Chain A
Amino acid sequence: MATQQISSYLLHCRKYTDSRVILDLLTSDFGLVSGVFRLKTKKKITTAVPSFTPLLVSWGRGQALKTITDVEPVGPGCKLSGITLFAAMYVNELMLRLLAAEDSSADVLSLYQGVLLELEHLALSGQSQLAHIEVPLRKFELMLLANLGYGISFSSDAFDQTIEEHLFYRLDCEQGFVPVLTSDDAGVLSSPTKMKVVFEGKTILSMAINDFSDLMVRREAKTISRMLLKPLLGDKPLKSRELFSTV
């Protein structure tokens, strides 16, 4: 059945033939949609499908791989460059790895739009250091996880008790934060090799109110986010993380 003018963003474009490409799109009503699209050529100038640009997309028949009939940009693309472009590529890879095909969620599209706008703002205001992009990326990762049903509470622990500022917690990816109370847990806390898996209540509470101004909060948010993403991503690491190693 034909589907008309669905709000979308391009996540990835692969060459299929000389004139056709396979597009992986994030759509408002149908989640992740992949399809073959014939690029438009006028007077020997081929127009590529733009990334980070709001699009209206129509497609026809096809089960897993659709036939995309029309792609129209409906607004200006986000002006990303340098490290903000790397960050947006990381977001795209994360989306493609985590989202299931045609699992609709309008919130994911607005989440994606939100992180792109934040990155664009950083790019335009010249804030192009690694520290600057960390905050929007962490917020995005945690919100995406929550949206996909893998979120955890940052204000209460696994036993529904309020997170206490002065206590330490370990992270159980399914249950949430577990207070370090028993002698075994104390062992975790004192063991230098496992120290990184214990988090201070104060920093967890900062994350609960989206306050990432402190360096320690940003570091621990990165660890928490990676721990939560790991079971979903499997053994294959995200390739785009390699881009950040130089900057």
Chain B
Amino acid sequence: MFSPLIDQLIVALRRLPSVGPKTAQRMALHLLERDRQGAENLAHALLKAVESVGQCQSCRNLTEQEQCNICKNPRRDQSLLCIVETPADVIALEQSGQFSGTYFVLFGHLSPIDGVGPKEIGIDLLERRLDQEDIKELIIATNPTMEGEATAHYIGERAKSRNVRVTRIAHGVPLGGELEYIDGGTLAHALNSRREI
């Protein structure tokens, strides 16, 4: 329906999560009709990010520096390492304001059927860190899915063999949640990890 370049832009925008054909069309037309400067800035920022952003040498999080700001920060507790699946999990934990240690980002979880094994999630780098650094506690914050649990166990065993304390974040009823809407598995977890008040 549109000229080839507009079609190409719409197809490119559809790569984004939650963007279907209609939304991509709206975005493309908005940029071309009303915000040409914004479109140029977007293109420039995208190109620059793709060219420069890589992974932190210590935690594998996305950064354009050799070491990310969290790993470089001397006020962070370097003996506390939190294992997460994605960079978005780092942001979520940072927003909680409760964690002052450092992170290690797996970029996924163990999923043999999808061809993801220990090597693909950077276990070799994690083991090197456990061997070389003075890490006292490993907090495993992988998701409470089958694959997340398997990943937690796999990492836990490797850390324990190096005498590192291993903990797992608690799972259960979310704050503000209502019991009647929570599935049986989550409730069972919540009951098993109940604590005295």
Contact = CB atoms under 8 A, between A and B. Distances in A.
Given A43-B178, A77-B185, A96 B113 contact: yes
Interface in B158-197: 158, 174, 177-178, 181-185
A86 interface: yes
Contact of B181 (A43, A52, A82, A247): A43
B40 to A, nearest CB: 29
A12 to B, nearest CB: 5
A51 B146 CA distance: 7
A243 B112 contact: yes
B153 interface: yes
A70 to B, nearest CB: 15
B18 interface: yes
Give the bracket for the number of chain A residues in contact with chain B: 20 to 34
Given A43-B177, A246-B154, A239 B117 contact: yes
B17 interface: yes
Nearest to A12: B113
Contacts of B184: 73, 76
Contacts of A136: none
A131 interface: no
A240 B118 CA distance: 10
B112 A240 contact: yes
B80 interface: no
B115 interface: yes
Nearest to A241: B112
A90 B112 contact: yes
Nearest to B153: A82
Interface string B94-134: 00000000000000001011111111000000000000000
A8 interface: no
Nearest to B123: A246
B145 A243 contact: no
Interface string A12-50: 101001100000000000000000000000110101101
A137 B118 CA distance: 22
Nearest to B182: A45
A7 interface: no
Give the bracket for the number of chain B residues in contact with chain A: 20 to 34
Given A18-B18, A240-B112, A242-B117, A47 B183 contact: yes
B161 to A, nearest CB: 8
B157 interface: yes
Contacts of A77: 185
B150 interface: yes
B89 interface: no
A6 interface: no
Contact of A45 (B17, B119, B158, B174): B174
Given A82-B153, A246-B154, A239 B113 contact: yes
A45 B181 contact: yes
Contacts of B181: 42-43, 45
Contacts of A45: 174, 177, 181-182
Interface string A91-110: 01100100000000000000
A90 B112 CA distance: 8
A93 B18 CA distance: 30
Contact of B146 (A73, A89, A96, A247): A89
B185 A93 contact: no
Contacts of A83: 153
Nearest to B20: A17
B137 interface: no
A186 interface: no
Contacts of B183: 47, 50
Given A50-B183, A240-B113, A243-B110, 11 more contacts: A11-B113, A12-B113, A14-B114, A45-B177, A45-B182, A47-B183, A82-B157, A89-B150, A239-B112, A240-B112, A243-B154
20 contacts: A12-B113, A14-B114, A17-B18, A18-B17, A18-B18, A43-B178, A45-B174, A50-B185, A76-B184, A77-B185, A82-B157, A85-B149, A86-B153, A89-B146, A90-B112, A92-B113, A93-B113, A239-B117, A240-B112, A245-B118
